[in-house]
């Protein structure tokens, strides 16, 4: 596993992003996908909306996995270390 060196501030920022993705963005994207799928009779415009929502969901889930890996292997370094 690759080690990632982060300052405490950098670690905290990534942790905050992860928390936001898990608690806010994941629900927003799921709701957007539900709404797009509920409008199933809207034709080709709806297909594009469903595809966009699925792509966004895949991006969010991928970023969550990426951040989990980074944070699980993070080594905190002192900001003042040269």
Run means of pLDDT, 10 residues per run, the chain, 82 residues: 93 99 98 87 74 96 98 94 60
Q: What residues does 19 pair with on adjacent strands?
A: none
| 33 domain-assigned | yes
What pLDDT does residue 47 have?
A: 85
Q: Return d(Cα 16, Cα 1) in angstroms, integer.
A: 23
| 37 domain-assigned | yes
Instruction: Give me the CATH number covering residue 64.
Output: 1.10.287.180
* Domain ranges, residue 32: 4-76
Alpha carbon 1 to chain centroid distance? Answer: 21
- The answer to whether residues 24 and 58 touch, using CB atoms and an 8 Å cutoff, is no
pTM of the model: 0.85
What pLDDT does residue 6 have?
A: 97
Tokens of 53: 């929502």
Count of domains forming the chain? 1
């Amino acid at each position: 596993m690759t080690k990632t060196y982060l300052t405490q501030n950098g670690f905290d920022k990534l942790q905050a992003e992860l928390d936001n993705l898990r608690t806010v963005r994941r629900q927003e994207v799921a709701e957007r996908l539900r709404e797009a799928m509920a409008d199933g009779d809207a034709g080709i415009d709806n297909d594009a909306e469903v595809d966009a929502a699925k792509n966004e969901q895949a991006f969010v889930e991928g970023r969550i996995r990426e951040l989990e890996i980074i944070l699980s292997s993070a080594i905190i370094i002192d900001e003042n270390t040269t």
